[in-house]
Amino acid sequence: MFLAGDIGGTSTRLGLYSSSGNYLCIEAQERYSSSEFDSLEESLELFVRQKGVKVESVCLGVPGPIKNGSVQLTNLPWHFSEDSVAKVLGIDRVRIVNDLYAVSAAIPLLGSSDFCTLHAGGNQYAKDRFSVLAAGTGLGHSFAARINDTWQIFESEGGHIDFAPRDDLSLELLRFLFQKFKKRVSYERVLCGPGIENIYEFLGTQSDYADGAHLEGEDCARQIAEIGLAGESRRAVKTLELFTRILGGLAGNCVLYNLCTGGIFLGGGIPPKLLPKLQDGALVEEYLRQGRMSPIVQDTPLKVLINDGAGLLGAAALARAL
């Protein structure tokens, strides 16, 4: 029996899996509110005790970098390590990986119903590399390559590369963010929940969109998305358009800097919620607009990951490999 975890600042998802041939079978799953626990180890102890099982191995996907098997979560006062998890569960096969690493491990195991295809691509280039770009609370990135029939996954902090405008309005957005943050501006300042709020705030400084509603509260990004999709606010509509085009341009760049011609997969919590907007053609237009390198991107599939359990499945597959 394998224990898999998808750990986040808001929720902790845990699952028990067994193996039947090449298939992973889920035996039990729980979603806990992370804030209800003083530590990750406490949630693991509760889960295992409630299920009454002895696990053989554990893999946990977590947001952020892992240093020597140890992690400090950004949005929770949780610090834990492979050693601390092994001790509390009484086992010696424990692995902690970046959450995007876990999602990448799941991609080869998923079927067509787990994705929404925005651009089908072609068959001119090798399909032995793919990349995941995940917009949610932050902007995550990872990529994978098939080497000797085995997928090797590589962690990345590509969400923190410099934001590069591709039109005049995006250039003005960059200038606005320079002034707001008084330092370099990464793509994560734009392509995430807080990034949606940044774009909306910026558009409020532009005469064409200054009449938009002033939004408050912890769910501003959700409010902007809802009124933007409903067409109830020109400012919110333009926010989603700008967000979508910037995401499409970055996705096309992801193809080029790792030659991930096997596909770009848009994960995280935001793309599935904005699916109607992502399907209107603007994102794909920017994705394909890569100058002389456009034929390479034209051949590369672009898909939205709509299975929100992919991270847990990937962690289970990694746990089984231990």
For residue range 147-174, what is the model confidence (pLDDT) as tens digits? 999 999 998 889 999 999 999 999 999 9
Supply the pLDDT for residue 210: 84
- Report the distance separating Cα 196 and Cα 270, nearest Å: 10
The residue ranges of every structural domain in the chain are 2-105+309-321, 112-305
Q: What pLDDT score was predicted for residue 318?
A: 96
Q: What digits encode the pLDDT tens for the residues 85-129?
A: 999 999 999 999 999 999 999 999 999 999 999 999 999 999 999
The residues pairing with 151 across neighbouring beta strands, listed in sequence order, are 146
**Quick check: 11 pLDDT over 90?**
no
Helix (H) or strand (E) holding 33: strand 23-33
pLDDT at 23: 84
Residue pLDDT, tens place only, 261-298:
999 999 999 999 999 999 999 999 999 999 999 999 99
> What was the pLDDT predicted at 271?
97
CATH number of 112-305, picked from 3.40.228.10, 1.10.10.10, 3.40.367.20, 1.10.606.20: 3.40.367.20
pLDDT at residue number 8 = 82
Q: How confident is the model at residue 217 (pLDDT cuts 50, 70, 90)?
A: confident
Q: Which residue has the higher pLDDT, 213 or 289?
A: 289
Contact 269, 78 (CB under 8 A): no
Distance CA 64, CA 73 (A): 7
Q: For the domain covering 2-105+309-321, report its CATH number.
A: 3.30.420.40
* CA–CA distance, 225 with 124 (Å, rounded to integer): 37
The overall average pLDDT reported for the chain is 93
Task: Pick 219 or 246 by higher pLDDT.
Answer: 246
- Calculate mean pLDDT across residues 220-244: 95
- Eight-class DSSP state of 91: -
* Helical axes 234-258 vs 168-181, angle rounded to 10°: 90
Residue 219 pLDDT: 87
Write out pLDDT tens, residues 30-79.
999 988 999 999 999 999 999 998 899 999 999 878 899 999 887 788 99
Closest of 18, 19, 35, 36 to residue 27, by C-alpha: 18
For residue 235, is pLDDT > 80? yes
What is the C-alpha to C-alpha distance for residues 129 and 151, in angstroms, rounded to an integer? 9
Query: pLDDT at residue 140 above 80?
Result: yes
Q: What span, in angstroms and rounded, lies between the C-alpha atoms of 205 and 177? A: 12
Q: Is the pLDDT of residue 28 over 90?
A: yes
Residue 99 Cα distances to 88, 156, 180, angstroms: 22, 11, 29
User: What's the confidence (pLDDT) of residue 216?
Assistant: 75
Closest CA to 15 of 74, 75, 61, 78: 61
